Each structure stands twice: as structure tokens, then as C-alpha cells.
Amino acid sequence: MGVEENRAAIERFVEETDKHNLDVLDELIAPDAVYHNPFPGKPEGAEGVKFVFNLLYGAFPDMKQEIKDVLAEGDRVVIRTSFSGTHQGEFMGMAPTGKSFTVDSIDIVRFGDDGKMVEHWGLFDQMSLMMQLGLAPPPPADEGRGE
């Protein structure tokens, strides 16, 4: 597959997961896909991604993604996405707060020759999420350090 097909697959991934259509992940992700930043308790391949999105949509049923940037070259696509939603269900053992959030994510995905995602590296701003939900304290105020 080519660069434009890979870019289109990433965009489709975001569009379909925003609709809570997780069945499409079987078409987009190889069963033996490797995740270099695994989520605790997550299975491999498409089932693992479904696991994570089901967890997120259980806690944040109104969660939406907004694509900010997509860069594609060779067999890799880099996507910067903004996630937003409201904490309405239990999240990792924490009761709903009713608070809204917006956090950023950066993902690098490698595609196989068949056009399926085979490898993933990602960073999700978990600390910002926890602070916005009131589940972690904000960093201490700058008290003139570095002056």
C-alpha cells in the first residue's frame, strides 16, 4: 500500500472510532500488531484497541477526537489528535466527576504491505487528563524559580 492509502486508513480509524464503530478495527489492524506503549491488561491486535476504546467510551461516552495533523511517509503515519469528553462513568476505578477534558495524543503507526496497522507507538497526555478531571493535583505554582 502507498502513503495516501495509509493516511486514509488512519483518518478512517479516527472517523469510525468516533462513531463507536469498533468492528472496523478488524479491517484496519493486523491480528498480531505490536504496541510499544501497552495499556495494562490490554490484549494484542484489534482486540486490544477495542478493549481500550470500550474502556474510554464507558468512562467518557461523549468522547470525540479531532485530527490536528497527519504526516505520512513510506510505511509510517504520524497523527496528532485532540481528545475531548466528559467523565460520566468509572475510569480505572475512579468514580465519575462530571468534569470535561481536552487532551492531546501523538501516535506513530507502521503499516504492513497489506495496508493493515502492524506497529504502534503513542503518547497520550494522561497527567493532563487526570488534572482536568480533578483526580491529580496541578503542578506547584512557579514561585520565582529560575529568575
What pLDDT, in 10s, does the model give residues 47-86? Answer: 989 999 999 999 999 999 999 999 999 999 999 999 999 9
Asked if residue 93 belongs to a domain, the reply is yes
Q: Which residue range is the domain that position 43 belongs to? A: 3-132
Q: Is the pLDDT of residue 145 over 70?
A: no
Does the residue 144 lie in any domain? no
C-alpha cell belonging to residue 76 = 509510517
For residue 147, pLDDT beyond 60: no
Provide φ and ψ at 87, rounded to 5°.
-75, 95
Q: How many domains does the chain have?
A: 1
| Interval 91-107 mean pLDDT | 95
Is residue 137 included in any domain, yes or no? Answer: no
More confident residue, 92 or 146: 92
> How large is the average pLDDT for residues 120-124?
94
Looking up residue 73, the CATH number of its domain turns out to be 3.10.450.50
pLDDT at residue 37 greater than cutoff 90: no
Q: Determine, yes or no, domain membership for 65.
A: yes
Cell triple for 109: 503507526
- Please determine, for residue 144, whether its predicted confidence score (pLDDT) is greater than 90: no
Domain assignment of residue 140, yes or no: no
**Burial zone of 79 (CB within 10 Å; 0-12 exposed, 13-18 middle, 19+ buried):** buried
- Across the range 31-38, mean pLDDT stands at 86
State whether the Cα torsion 58-60-62-67 is positive or negative.
negative
Is residue 146 a part of any domain in this protein? no
Q: Is residue 45 part of a domain?
A: yes
In a domain, 143, yes or no: no
